[in-house]
Structure 1
Amino acid sequence: MEYPPDNSWLEPIKRQYYAVVPLKQFIWPDDLDDATQLDFYNEVLNDIRMVNLQPRRSYIFMIFKALQRSIEGYGDTMISEIAEIWQNMLIQSCTRGSEDEGFSYKSYFLDENLKNGVVLTLKESDAFLCKGTTGLVTWEAAKILS
């Protein structure tokens, strides 16, 4: 599939990443060449507004593993900017353990404009959400209950 030159393919990826969409529903581009990876790095992983509002570390690990598999599946290599983030996360998990900080974020872009639009961010605490719950995603659960 050819993607538009304006990088509009990044919008759904960014929405999926920050909303912590399950990987089986995650839509990757068909080609992850160096330019595509750099766009992903700049627009998703290095977004200044979102740098302190990252998803759960375990989710980020799964994203990096899936990204690496996709890149290698095309016979490409991971660009240094993404590889450096991945390497730093692996080092941190060895020194601090693989557990999350006790909370994480899910962010929902409410406007079409991802750069300047409204973002609803939920801070989730492990004290309230634990394994074995009903499986409802926070935002979707809130919409159902409202």
Structure 2
Amino acid sequence: MAPEESAGSWSLLQSFERRFLAARALRSFPWQSLEEKLRESSDSALLLLDILQKTVKHPVCVRHPPAAKYTRCFLSELIKKHEAVHAEPLDELYESLAEVLTAEESAQCHRSYLLPSGDAVTLSESTAIVSHGTTGLVTWDAALHLAEWAIENPAVFAHRTVLELGSGAGLTGLVVCKTCRPRAYVFSDCHSRVLQQLRGNLLLNGLSPDPDATAGSERPLVSVAPLDWDIATVPQLSAFQPDVVIAADVLYCPEVTLSLIGVLQRLSACRRDHNPDVYVAFTVRNPETCQLFKAELGRAAIRWEAVPPHHRKLFPYEEQSETAMLKLTLPASPAC
């Protein structure tokens, strides 16, 4: 195989691997490139077997599989591409499909994200965007954006206490805990079902909210805290004593935006020595909501600056979505 052909095949395999492990929409896969490769390749069966090993047969997926329906649809599409080049039937594809045809559907599925170290962050998530009255049971693009930025900027978190507002499924926090060496990390949310899922995802990734489980280890001290922004008090927030505060995809409506401003104001009154660094990542869905956020920051005397985009895209998410991140400077306040 020529070097350029080998590089092209490796890139294609990596794209399929990362998208399948994260259970991204099938339309986002490079199907056309695959079909072209299959037509050009002298051994199309080998390429398809490699894709099978990088996706359905991947060790991470074997342990923590995506939704059964998703796997069935993926394998059906892979078989269509194979049949389109008029190749001999590939038994392994049909055998894999047969294995999931009888699998039971579940309201939960797994999504996995590969880190530069080769380790993976795996999340148990709802198969529905809205479930149990909340959108916090799935991972949103801004969480992936913030996680990528954290990997490029580990010094922001190293040996510091991090408070995450609206942790959702926990992707960003798990990436920070696995790659940035924080001293302590507080996952927080207000919905009981989200908090339950968060605790499960911590255990799924080898982290425990039990202080005794991390005593004497290099792992950060992690905790899961119920935190309702509208009723959180200064003493409650002060107990966290964060050095860094982060939030991802929490600017989805004016009411929540105003609640976020309120909790940031109370956080500015909590630090005994200095205010924490604050980073908020968001997908620009409604420009008016973003303008509201910036206007309210001004009214609260919270300075902001845009964080330059990071260079390396590690995780698969929608290319067309506009994702941004702000660094906030909370106003100085008397110590609690």
TM-score between the two structures when normalised by the length of structure 1? 0.73
- Distance in structure 2 (CA, Å) of the matches to 1:14 and 1:81: 18
Would you say the 8 A contact 2:66–2:109 is kept in 1?
yes
User: Given residue 18 of structure 1, which amino acid in structure 2 is its aligned partner?
Assistant: L
Amino acid at match of 1:4: S
Gaps of 5+ in 1: none
Distance in 2 of aligned mates of 1:66 and 1:19: 17
Q: Corresponding residue for 2:115?
A: 110
Shift in Å at residue 128 of structure 1? 8.1
SS in 2 for 1:106: strand
Letter in 2 for 1:120: V
Q: Tell whether the 8 Å contact from 1:34 to 1:78 is kept in structure 2 after alignment.
A: no
Amino acid at match of 2:26: L
Greater fraction of residues in strand: 2
TM-superposed deviation, 1:81: 1.6
Q: Per-residue deviation at 1:70?
A: 1.1
Q: 1: distance between equivalents of 2:25 and 2:55?
A: 17
Q: In the alignment, which of 44, 50, 59 is matched to residue 48 of structure 1?
A: 59
Label 1:31 to 1:138 Cα distance change in 2 as closer, same or farther (>3 A).
same
Percentage of pairs with the same residue: 28
Cα distance between partner residues in 2 of 1:61 and 1:89: 6
Point out which structure has higher relative CO (alpha carbons under 8 A, 6+ apart). 1
Match of 2:19 in 1: 16
Secondary structure, in 3 states, of the residue corresponding to 2:63?
Answer: coil
* Equivalent position SS for 2:10: coil
Contact 2:76/2:97, CA 8 A, preserved across alignment: no
Where in structure 2 are there 5+ consecutive unaligned residues? 39-43, 144-247, 251-279, 281-336
For 2:113, what is the secondary structure of its paired residue? strand
Query: Shift of residue 45 of structure 1?
Result: 2.1
Check if 1:144 corresponds to 2:249: yes
Shift, 1:60, TM fit: 0.9
Asked whether the 8 Å contact 2:111–2:125 carries over to 1, the reply is yes
Q: CA RMSD in A?
A: 3.1
Q: SS of 1:45's equivalent?
A: coil
Q: How much has 1:18 moved relative to structure 2?
A: 0.9
